[in-house]
């Protein structure tokens, strides 16, 4: 199983779960810093950090990210963080 986390809070949670379950996590460059990623990598965690941000990304950017993940993890289930949007006209 693979997690795609789009925001920092979700990335932290996915990394915690993945460490326990032995899963992989893919995240955008805005979810954790490069230094955090290096630290996690040195512990053996299966965390891959894209070179571009994913928070607020368009559906096309997310689709591209999923294609990359599928290349590296064929036939695996990919869980994607869902980010709800406030209704139109609602400031949030």
**pLDDT of 82:** 87
CATH number of 2-80: 3.40.50
Which segments of the chain have a pLDDT < 70? 85-92
For residue 4, what pLDDT is reported? Answer: 97
Q: Could you please report the per-residue DSSP string of 57-76?
A: --HHHHHHHHHHHHHHSTT-
Q: What does the pLDDT read at residue 90?
A: 57
**pLDDT (0 to 100) of residue 87:** 62
pLDDT on residue 44: 83
Predicted pLDDT of residue 86: 63
Contact at 8 Å (CB) between 50 and 60?
no
């Amino acid at each position: 199983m693979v997690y795609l986390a789009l925001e920092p809070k979700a990335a932290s949670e996915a990394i915690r779960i993945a460490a326990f379950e032995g899963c992989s996590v893919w995240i955008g460059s805005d979810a954790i810093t490069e230094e955090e990623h290096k630290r996690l990598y040195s512990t053996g965690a299966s965390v891959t950090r894209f070179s571009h941000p994913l928070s607020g990304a368009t559906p096309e950017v997310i689709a591209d990210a999923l294609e990359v993940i599928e290349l590296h993890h064929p036939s695996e289930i990919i869980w994607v963080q869902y980010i709800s949007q406030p209704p139109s006209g609602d400031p949030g």
